[in-house]
Amino acid sequence: MERELVFETVMEPGTGKGVELRRGQVLRIEQVEGGQCADFNLFNLHDYKEHFHTARTRHMHGLMPSTGALLWSAPPRDRPIAALVTDTLGSNDILYGRCSAFLYDYQYGLPVHTNCHDIQAEAQREFGLTPDDVHDSFNFFMNTGIDPSGNPFIAPNLARRGDYVEILALIDVLAVANVCGADVMATSNFELKPLRIAIYESLPGELESQESRPEAAAHVTQRDPSTFRVKQIKADRELTRDKSYVPAFTNVPIQRQELDVQLSDAEIARLDHLIETGQLGSTRAEVLRYVFFSWWIEKFMQGPKHFDREAAKA
């Protein structure tokens, strides 16, 4: 079954385009020639302060999200606002920041150069946003990795003509895609090429299948401005201290208590062996606490566990 086409256009090199997507609509970003990175921003159409957050998305889906990943908004909203429902290539990045005029100036001596930040800002201007509103991008078709010493790198772009990603909106959004302006970095194989974007209606059941995922269940911790102590968006640039401010941090004061745990000879031997590994702490109390919470995470925690299980082996 084919999706019904609502809108399509081609983004030429050096450009980007913001489009309104209604909940349940799908945005396709498609290679026209191949080898082209697309940077992407995503805002709640009815409250631009809620927008896509690379860091939460990394936490939930890793550095290279592909089909099945959700696009999360920043805390405290912290909810899936879109889903990556199709990815014909499976080579995306949410580690690198968008390229900007500064990078081409500083690294190449090219102060006037196509760059994702300025292209995004210009596209977003159609909806009244300012250059400060551009956020960390989802970099579709950008092929990256981490070398053994922990440094990220950019590898050749693997996208072929016709490769595409499809993003299903879970709320009404402003989606802004752009042709990455990097032609002197490896991002798009040193050439700027057009990208097609198209809006489709989703197929029956597609939205429901995303909304019924466990990660999509609503939590009271996903907060909107109705719960903010300051509800108005600050409209001036100067920062001044509120003299009536009274701190209201959660669960403060944090109070540490002592808890005696009784261990047998055999158990204390195990604990001492764990101390000898040198990985979990240097005292019996530190290691026992580390072990308890590690065990809890492995056994009960929902979502990605963020443990290097190999490193935990002695």
**Between residues 44 and 114, which has the closer beta carbon with respect to Zn ion?**
114
- Give the C-alpha separation, 116 to 26, whole Å: 23
174 binds Zn ion (CB under 5 A): no
The residues of the shown chain that bind other proteins, judged by CB under 8 A, are 251, 254-265, 267-268, 270-271, 273-274, 277, 284-285, 288-289, 291-296, 298-300, 312-314
Q: Tell me which residue of 32, 246, 16 sits closest to 134, measured CA to CA.
A: 16
Smallest gap from Cβ 307 to other proteins, in A, equals: 10
204 contacts 242 by C-beta, under 8 angstroms:
no
Q: Tell me which residue of 143, 146, 125 sits closest to 134, measured CA to CA.
A: 125
Smallest gap from Cβ 36 to Zn ion, in A, equals: 11
Smallest gap from Cβ 270 to other proteins, in A, equals: 5
Residue 118: strand, helix, or coil: helix
**Between residues 60 and 291, which has the closer beta carbon with respect to other proteins?**
291
116 binds Zn ion (CB under 5 A): yes
Q: Which does 273 bind (CB under 5 to 8 A by kind): Zn ion, other proteins, none?
A: other proteins
**Between residues 16 and 24, which has the closer beta carbon with respect to Zn ion?**
16
- Give the C-alpha separation, 135 to 151, whole Å: 22
Query: Which H or E element spans position 124?
Result: helix 116-124
Q: Which of 70, 89, 179, 182 binds Zn ion (CB under 5 A)?
A: 182
Smallest gap from Cβ 309 to other proteins, in A, equals: 8
**Between residues 130 and 262, which has the closer beta carbon with respect to other proteins?**
262
Q: Which of 99, 121, 207, 271 binds Zn ion (CB under 5 A)?
A: 99
**Between residues 224 and 286, which has the closer beta carbon with respect to other proteins?**
286
Q: Which does 99 bind (CB under 5 to 8 A by kind): other proteins, Zn ion, none?
A: Zn ion
Overall residue count recorded for the chain in this entry: 314
Q: Which residue has the tokens 């385009």?
A: 17
Which residues lie across from 28 on neighbouring strands?
Answer: 166, 198
**Between residues 81 and 274, which has the closer beta carbon with respect to other proteins?**
274
Q: Which stretch binds Zn ion (CB under 5 A): 115-123, 192-200, 206-214, 262-270?
A: 115-123
165 contacts 68 by C-beta, under 8 angstroms:
no
Rg (CA), the chain: 23
- Dmax (CA) for the chain in angstroms is 72
Q: Which residue has the tokens 């990097």?
A: 182
∠ CA 166-119-174, nearest 5°, is 45
Q: Tell how strand 25-31 and strand 164-169 pair up.
A: antiparallel
Q: Which does 282 bind (CB under 5 to 8 A by kind): Zn ion, other proteins, none?
A: none
Tokens for 93, please give them.
């990045």
Q: Which does 116 bind (CB under 5 to 8 A by kind): Zn ion, other proteins, none?
A: Zn ion
Q: Which stretch binds Zn ion (CB under 5 A): 42-50, 97-105, 145-153, 212-220?
A: 97-105
**Between residues 159 and 171, which has the closer beta carbon with respect to Zn ion?**
159
Query: Which H or E element spans position 209?
Result: helix 206-211
Q: Which does 223 bind (CB under 5 to 8 A by kind): other proteins, Zn ion, none?
A: none
Smallest gap from Cβ 250 to other proteins, in A, equals: 9
Give, in order, the Cα–Cα distances in Å from 217 to each of 42, 78, 208. Answer: 21, 12, 12
**Between residues 102 and 293, which has the closer beta carbon with respect to other proteins?**
293
